[in-house]
Structure 1
Amino acid sequence: MTPLDLLLEPLGYDFMLRALAIALIASAVCAVLSCWLVLIGWSLMGDAVSHAVLPGVVLAYIVGAPFALGAVVFGLLAVVLIGAVRDTSRVKEDAAIGIVFTTLFALGLVLISVTPSQTDLTHIIFGNLLGVTPADFVQIAVLGAIVLLVMVAKRRDFTLYAFDPSHAHAIGLNPRFLGALLLGLLALTAVVALQTVGVILVVAMLIIPGATAFLLTDSIWRMLLIAPGIAVVCALAGIYSSYYLDTASGAMIVLAQGAAFALAYAVSLTRKLRRRRTARASVSARA
């Protein structure tokens, strides 16, 4: 079998084409958002919101509402509860995040276990990339486009908010609104990625691409190009690997992203050691 055959064979199946398209959409959207999550220091918040949306998605299924609506409601509810626990008790923010998101995640698991359904709702937890229907594809594509358009339109405001919220407020921006908007986009993005990797691995797609790009550049604008570029390559690698190795598609995508981060970490460490050697050589030459 030639390399071209290896490349084209999976594309002969409709379910693989849909899986590939959704993986690319979800990876790109998550990667762009991950840049701001990493810069703001919201990695734990991304973890919390991505897990906390589970009961909202299940309840939306029960009442026949869009998954996105339930996800946004419970994502924002999680943020409100975290803030309330942090501000009205001696519990610190990291502990409050752990308490709220694990409790809401457990609630989602309970709702799944007691909800009669013709659909296997466990795909929300573990993902079901190869079982995506045309209707699911349309929903994910629309949500992904909305999230991406908002992030592109507000990229300068989000960047200023990430680096200097006080200056953002001084020039007339509302940091509280920008934070709430980012959290709303985070909840929608979690829905986009649910079908791809499930609730458990969503946080990886929301953190790893941005962290990888952060190691490779000091420019936020280059980060916004590098992160989705890496995520798209990893999505392709994960999909093709899962096809030929007969493994879980979502997990392979995340493994590919982890490998990309390890490579970027090695490159950044090499650069750091080289700069140290150059600095020591310069000091020795002066002496």
Structure 2
Amino acid sequence: MSTHPTFSFDDPLQQRVYEYVERNGAVPPDELARAIRVDAGGSQSKPARSAEYRQQVRPSSDRLQDALDELKTDGYLLETDGRLRISVTAPERTVELEDGIVRIRPAREFDRDGLVDAMREVAGEEQYIVAENVADRLERESALVRANADRSRVFFVATFEPDPETESEPRSDVVGWLHLDAPELPSLRHTAEVTVGVRPEVRREGIGSTLLEYGLEWAGEADYRKVTQNLPATNERAIEFLTEQGWQREGERERQYCIDDSFTDEVLMGIWLE
């Protein structure tokens, strides 16, 4: 998927289909067929102050299917589990634990609840303010992936699958995440902001570093040049982790956060992608 789409669709029907899926997330094809309208082609008298309007009708099933086929071929949309989604593709990666396997992959709509829970748990440690804001936004919006004229956003998740031959403690399916967020401002099109987190019970297992490597590889292939992350200075563990992964400390904002009634500096971290 292009994370900086131009949206220069020659066919207005393709434009409307893409915008509907982008706005609503995972969309069944029959819902799309009911929702999409195109100009009928002729002008109609309108009994209001404006002189004319164009009648909106459903496109034929053949025309709608042609538009969908073009969007899939060009890499804008994909169809999985009987639903249309904005295309985010990346090969799955695994991390082996003593009691199971963690799979790292692009997030899907059915991951939403586990994703929000994981972010809430990590944010509850009061060291990851941005994660809480991302979780709030995710609960308000209907689509995990956004790629429009204003902003691009993508999530990757780490999901745990227990080994059936072991008697491991029950765990949430989503044990970690990585979120890339990028504005479409021309002067910032080369940058993206990342949040990454892992539930406490599976830390120090290589999941966080694998998630970060996975997300940065995807960002590089999507033509981002620089990735940033801002953290409270009190989150020494995360700052040390990023430093070990090659990130640079680029500056600080004094007294940027108020945590437990105490002011805390914000540390600005960044890494350039080759």
Higher helix residue share: 1
TM-score normalised per structure 2: 0.24
Higher strand residue share: 2
TM-score normalised per structure 1: 0.23
